[in-house]
Amino acid sequence: MHTEQGSSDRKVTSPSMNPYVSIAPDVKLGQDVKLSKFVNLYGCEVGDESKIGAFVEIQKNATVGKRCKISSHTFICEGVTIEDNVFIGHGVMFINDMFPRATTDGQLQTEADWKVERTVIKKGASLGTGVTVLANVTVGENAIVGAGSVVTKDVPANSIVVGNPAKVVRYIDKSMEAGK
């Protein structure tokens, strides 16, 4: 894929080079980003050395930091910020609207009819396969969210949460990290 050098970003100028990816011209890709087939990126930013798996969609006004791994079948909607060194498992879903509706006064909604709710995944966090993250949530630095969990409120830094709704089961300490 051809790229055009920007300040510290790369902007895609010829996504048609690979028929298996859909990358809008307004996407900013960092250095050495790896893209699998069947990704859909528009209006977003992806940081240096990140890897985006197959069947991932990243919407406008979403940001993925440096050295992140976004596994297949994940949906990252508008308003999501993923900081550096984050792992996102397979099939993770983000939600950016607390009160979703198809219509307003009998008419299909437009962007003017709803407000994007923000979500932040802090540096070094890991989200397991099948996690759902509701809007207006921050997952703390180095936190781990267990597979299948539904995150409905903020997750403390260095914690491990599981379940629906996700609850803290313990905190990561230095001895756990050293045992890797």
Q: Which tokens in the block code for residue 3? A: 């790229």
C-alpha neighbours within 13 Å on the C-beta side of residue 152: 7
- H or E segment and range at residue 178: helix 174-178
Q: CA separation (Å) from 85 to 12, 46, 58, 122?
A: 23, 12, 17, 9
Q: Which of 73, 118, 123, 167 is catalytic?
A: 73
The Cα 53–Cα 143 span in angstroms is: 22
Write the CB contacts of 51 (distance below 8 Å, at least 6 apart in sequence): 33, 34, 36, 68, 69, 70
Whether 2 is catalytic: no
Catalytic residues: 73
